Homo-oligomer: A and B are copies of this chain.
Amino acid sequence: MRVIMVKGFSKTGKTTTVTQIIKELRRRGYSVGTVKDIHYEKFAMDHPGTDTYKHTQAGAQRVTALGEKETDILLSRRMDIDAVLKYYKEDFVILEGDSGADCPAILTGATEEDLAKRMTDQVIAVSGIISGKLDHYGRLPVINCLEEVEKMADLIEKATEEQKQEADVILTIDGVEIPMVPFVKNTLKNVVIGAVKALDGYEEGKEIAIRVKG
């Protein structure tokens, strides 16, 4: 899983940048997830009158709406971004807004002052409203995602390359190692990670060991 952030002040083009990147990554065959950081005190996803809202009002701390075409898990508190990411398994996750994740970032702005205020070492490119006015900002490319999103997607693929990790899988049964072809290894790895990733303590890259008395 590869994670990238799109950050910047309000109304500087964050959502447009994110949606353009989503479309291009999907066009390239990747699965894509996103996280939108919402700093609006009164934000609420559900609304009075629904059964799920009644569950929350009655005191349920986690409520899922299991629909025919969607599944919505609603938790009655703000989660830490790292905990949120444990629920993901898409090829790419794009974070809209600065949720504190440690990953490469694209910075949007309307003016050079905006950019200066939010610049960090993690920023790999500039985009948003200012991208019609500048070609470069310092050493960073300024990319207009409405016109040249391919260039941005290339940059994202390159900047997140190291987040891809090749993994080893070893299976023993009563102490005897069982040989597996790569496809089976990958499947088993995905099954194990899928089964444990929602647990506290799991982090991408850590070694997982399971013992089961079958």
Q: Which residues of A come within 8 Å of B, CB atoms?
A: 15, 18-20, 22-23, 26, 31-41, 43-46, 51-52, 54-55, 57-79, 81, 84, 86-88, 90, 94, 96-97, 99, 165, 167-176, 178, 180, 184, 187-189, 191-196, 198-214
Q: Is the CB of B36 within 8 A of A64?
A: yes
Pairs A–B under 8 Å by Cβ, sample size 20: A19-B54, A22-B59, A33-B63, A34-B52, A37-B66, A43-B65, A43-B68, A43-B70, A46-B72, A55-B96, A69-B76, A72-B72, A86-B195, A87-B198, A173-B201, A175-B207, A188-B210, A189-B212, A191-B192, A192-B212
Whether B36 and A55, one on each chain, are in contact in the complex, defined by CB atoms closer than 8 angstroms, is yes
State the CA gap A173–B198 with chains docked (Å).
13
B36 touches A167 (CB 8 A): no
